[in-house]
Amino acid sequence: MTEQTQPTTSTTPACYRHPDRETWVSCGRCGKPVCPDCMVHGPVGIRCRDCLYPQGEGGHLLTPERVASAKRLSLGLAIGWLVLMVAVGIFSGINLGVWTPNLALAALAGITVGLAIWHRSGRAWNPVTRAWALWLGLLMPVGAAAILMLVLIVAAGLPSWFALLVYLARIGMAVAVSVLLCWLVATQRSGL
């Protein structure tokens, strides 16, 4: 008597992101099976990435309307801060001889623009908001510095090499502060 073998069907669950990987581990919140590469150890157990980061790092819950709203508001604020940095730079250049964007203004500009991006984007943390925060944080003090340099050249002529190096160092500090604060505030995961 010959034995016939029945084809066996695998009842082992597969990872929801990697169907070729078998796993017996599942998300403690939604129950999706997750492989070791997809599981994240959260504060109360294993979670899938969708449950642990509900806003999503890929921006899948960030609607185009929210992105447009965040970009419009933050761009308007950035232009306002740029104008203020130029005005304060011209005032301090005439009165104090310091023709650079103010470091404190660069910090405030970075924080307010970062908050605008974070708030208007629905507090999402994703590549779109990160890139926008980095670019605006960079362009505010650099734009102000370029305008101030043109004003300085027109008003006083070309500066010496040493004065130019000092100027560039001050711009570098303002850029670093603005970019860092704008990016940190725009990409925060919890509220202030």
Q: Which residue has the tokens 């819950």?
A: 61
Residue 192 has pLDDT above 60, yes or no: no
- Mean pLDDT score across all residues of the chain: 76
Compare 10 and 32 and report the one with higher pLDDT.
Answer: 32
Three-class SS state of 46? strand
- Whether residue 142 contacts residue 175, with contact meaning beta carbons closer than 8 Å, is answered with yes
Taking the C-alpha atoms of residue 186 and residue 111, their distance in angstroms, rounded to an integer, is: 8
Taking the C-alpha atoms of residue 184 and residue 56, their distance in angstroms, rounded to an integer, is: 17
Q: What is the pLDDT of residue 10?
A: 62
Per-residue pLDDT band for 64 (boundaries 50, 70, 90) equals confident
Taking the C-alpha atoms of residue 144 and residue 147, their distance in angstroms, rounded to an integer, is: 5
Q: What angle do CA 128, 130, 133 make, to 5 degrees?
A: 105
Residue 126 has pLDDT above 70, yes or no: no
Per-residue pLDDT band for 60 (boundaries 50, 70, 90) equals very low
14-28, 34-48, 80-94, 152-166, range with the lowest pLDDT: 152-166
Specify which residues 46 forms β-bridges with.
Answer: 41
Compare 160 and 176 and report the one with higher pLDDT.
Answer: 176
Compare 92 and 7 and report the one with higher pLDDT.
Answer: 92
Taking the C-alpha atoms of residue 190 and residue 173, their distance in angstroms, rounded to an integer, is: 27
The segment with the largest mean pLDDT, out of 45-59, 106-120, 121-135, is 106-120
Q: What is the pLDDT of residue 3?
A: 56
